Amino acid sequence: MDQSLRIAVADDGRDVAFAVWGDPAGFPVMSLHGTPGCRFNRWPDEELYRNLGVCLVTHDRAGYGRSARRRGRNVADEVDDVRLVADELGFDRFGVVGGSGGGPHSLACAALLPDRVVRAVCAVGVAPLGTPGLERDEWVAGQDPENVKEFGWAEAGEEVLTVELERLQATLLERVAVDPSTVLGDFELSESDRSQLSRPEVMQIIREATAEQAVNGVWGWVDDDLAILSPWGFELDAITIPVLVRYGKTDVLVPPAHGDWLAANVPGCVVAIDDVAGHLGADPVQEITGDLRWLRDGVPPG
């Protein structure tokens, strides 16, 4: 049975698309993609998950891929769809991992689903903008100008943001068709991130995800940007479950100041910092293994 496209229907009638990878009988982990992204954002060799005894579930956040848009959503609204997919699969207790723009959404699950979420990971996650969080100058400090430009579009409002992201999505599709490793060609990335983009597995993910993330428009990307810059809809100090905060010091998409802030403000969190890694990590297999062992067994990365 093909597990790469399954549909759950929310109470409001929205379709939520999800995929199941790895060991169907393994420890359940809900993996929340970045911004932009879709359910295809995972490590493409499923043996990694099978060998760890993990059932990895990804889904298209509202507006991405095959999931219907939920206009005006905030970060906390993602919890509804995580709960929906978990219920669809019969998961009572599970782990949650979110990377980049998925990081705040993982923290929302940690705060608002403590009866379901065993442990959570926030990897290279974004910090809140404004109080409580980083003020704008601190929030954009160290970001590549291309990233700062995107959030400027978001600050200008949905209409401006939509036009610009449609243009950017078309550019990404053109680049990926020629060479997936150039998807972030305008960014001044660290040596670590440039090395990761040339990996065959990473290029495969980019090929699969770039078209699918906007197959029905850029609405998920639009709504993510607007939600991340707005109040998230929950308080970090509500988190009572164990959380791992992981980030790299050479990241120019989500600079280390964001990780530093989260490490200081997510209650009781375990912190893993890589001095060499950028946004894509230095060794994805090792980092995914560490994250999943943390979620499954509560063993912090060594």
What is the domain partition of the chain in residue ranges? Answer: 6-297
Task: Report the CATH superfamily, name and number, of domain 6-297.
Answer: Alpha/Beta hydrolase fold, catalytic domain (3.40.50.1820)
pLDDT (0 to 100) of residue 232: 98
pLDDT (0 to 100) of residue 21: 98
Q: Which residue in the block uniquely carries the two structure tokens 């680049």?
A: 175
pLDDT (0 to 100) of residue 115: 98
pLDDT (0 to 100) of residue 144: 98
Regions of the chain short of the pLDDT cut 50: none
pLDDT (0 to 100) of residue 186: 87
